[in-house]
Structures are given as C-alpha cells and as structure tokens.
C-alpha cells in the first residue's frame, strides 16, 4: 500500500514522499498522531479550557487558549493563534494565525491572519480574510466577509456584507447587503467610513470614497464621491406608480 507522508528534500523544501506501508503500519502511524492531538487537548483542559467534545477538536502545538474559554465540536485552531479568556469558539470554526481577545463569541466561522477585539461577536458563517482587524464590542454577523480591513469599536455589520480594503470607524452601522467595491478590474482601492456613520441596506461604495463622521447614506445608494460629515447621501431612481396597471395588463392571470 502507498502512503503519502510530509517530507523535505535536501534543500529544506517541503514535499510529499511516497512510502510503502502495511495496513498495520498505517494504523499505528494514525494512532500515534491521534495520541499527540489528544495530548494537546488534555493540556488545555488541565489549564482551565472547556471542550464540548474533546475528541473532535484539532489544536496546533503553538496555539494558546485562555482560562474559561469553551471550544465547540469540530473546531480547528492552527498556527500562531492566541485565544483569550472566557471566549466561546463555536462548532465548525477554523482559526489560523490570529489573535482573539477576551470574551469573544465566534460561531461557525473562518478567521485567517486577523485580530478580534474583546467582547466582539462573529458569525455564524462569517469569513475574516488575512489583514482584518476588528475592534472591541463589534459585530461581524452571518455571511459577512472582511478582507484587509479594519472595523472600529462598536462597529456592526450584521449580515450579508462585503468589507474589502476599507477602514470602518467606531460605532458605524453597515446595513444588510452593503458592498465595498474595491476592485476596478486592474487595481484595488481603499474606502473610509468615519465614526458613527450610518450606511443603509444595499449600498455600494465605489472605491476610493470617504464617508464622513456621522453621515447618513440611504438604502439603495451607490456612492461614487465623498460624503461630507453629517450629510445625507441618497442615490435612488424616483418611484413611479401606475394605478390599475396589473389589472389592465392581465399579467398575473394564469392561463387555463
């Protein structure tokens, strides 16, 4: 039987090496790795970490976890990851090379090379890509993706939002469906939303743009130029209502 194992060539480069092993040898090798994995989990339990299902957690050797933190089933913590005290890392979460401060709640999310401030809530199904820095008491909700961006203390993106190459200030509210349009086909640009601004649902911010402190962007707006502090920005088509149009057209009548 052919068994693939991690190896290195004579130059120190990682590669895959084919090694012929019997079934007994394969089982022995997998059991050895399982014992090492569970030994790491047990060391965290002894340090005051709670595991909902300790046999399904995958914790890297370099990972540190603070006392009072709970780790759910099927959680993967890799690389130089640091988890603070009294956190809740929910099931099916993967965190790699990231720093999570105290009291953070993460549910069913992927976090890569990022930082999260204390008491912030993440997920479910959020995706923090490399270079994301989330402040304290913030919220990154369901189906929110953050890439190479900052979110200040108390900032919220509750659902269905893409934050790419942006700096979002303290207390900013990003409504459902907000998109930071950071790529024009040849280069990426950054946008800024200053503190306490309100960005309504289904808003597109065409980078590079700046929304000033305390500005209000109405739902459905596409922003192509800077919005001054305290200003209202609205960019919708005007509604047109035609009475009795449906009846006259018969458009909803089903053919028999």
Q: What are phi and psi of 232, to 5 degrees?
A: -100, 135
The HSE-up count of residue 126 (CA atoms within 13 Å, CB side) is 31
Tell me the β-bridge partners of 217.
199, 233
Cα–chain center distance at 220: 24
CA 125 to CA 173: how far, in whole Å?
19
Burial of 68 (0-12, 13-18, 19+ CB in 10 A): middle
Q: Residue 54, class by beta-carbon neighbours within 10 Å (0-12 exposed, 13-18 middle, 19+ buried)?
A: middle
Catalytic residue among 44, 91, 133, 159, which? 159
Separation CA 41–CA 169 (nearest Å): 38
Is 14 in contact with 6 (CB distance < 8 Å)?
Answer: yes
User: Any catalytic annotation for residue 133?
Assistant: no
- Give the pairing type, strands 2-8 and 50-51: unpaired
Q: Look up residue 54 and give its DSSP letter.
A: G
Contact between 94 and 111 (Cβ < 8 Å) = yes
Active site amino acids: 159
């Amino acid at each position: 039987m052919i068994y693939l194992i991690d190896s290195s060539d004579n130059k120190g480069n990682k590669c895959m090496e084919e090694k012929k092993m019997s079934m007994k040898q394969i089982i022995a090798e997998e059991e050895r790795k399982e014992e090492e994995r569970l030994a790491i989990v047990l060391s965290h339990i002894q340090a005051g970490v709670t595991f909902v299902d300790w046999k399904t957690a995958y914790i890297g050797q370099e990972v540190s976890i603070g006392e009072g933190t709970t780790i759910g089933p099927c959680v993967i913590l890799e690389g130089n990851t640091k988890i603070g005290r009294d956190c809740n890392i929910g099931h099916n979460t993967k965190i790699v090379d990231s720093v999570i401060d105290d009291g953070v709640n993460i549910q069913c999310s992927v976090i890569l090379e990022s930082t999260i401030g204390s008491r912030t809530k993440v997920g479910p199904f959020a995706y923090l890509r490399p270079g994301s820095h989330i402040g304290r008491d913030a919220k990154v909700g369901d189906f929110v993706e953050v890439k190479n961006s900052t979110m200040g203390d108390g900032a919220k993106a509750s659902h269905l939002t893409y934050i790419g190459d942006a700096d979002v200030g303290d207390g900013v509210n990003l409504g459902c469906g907000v998109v930071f349009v950071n790529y024009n086909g040849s280069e990426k640009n950054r946008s800024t939303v200053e503190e306490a601004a309100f960005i309504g649902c289904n808003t597109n911010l065409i980078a590079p743009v700046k929304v000033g402190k305390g500005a209000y962007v109405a739902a459905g707006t596409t922003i192509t130029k800077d919005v001054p502090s305290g200003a209202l920005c609205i960019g919708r088509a005007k509604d047109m209502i035609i009475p009795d149009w449906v009846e006259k057209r018969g458009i909803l009548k089903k053919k028999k």
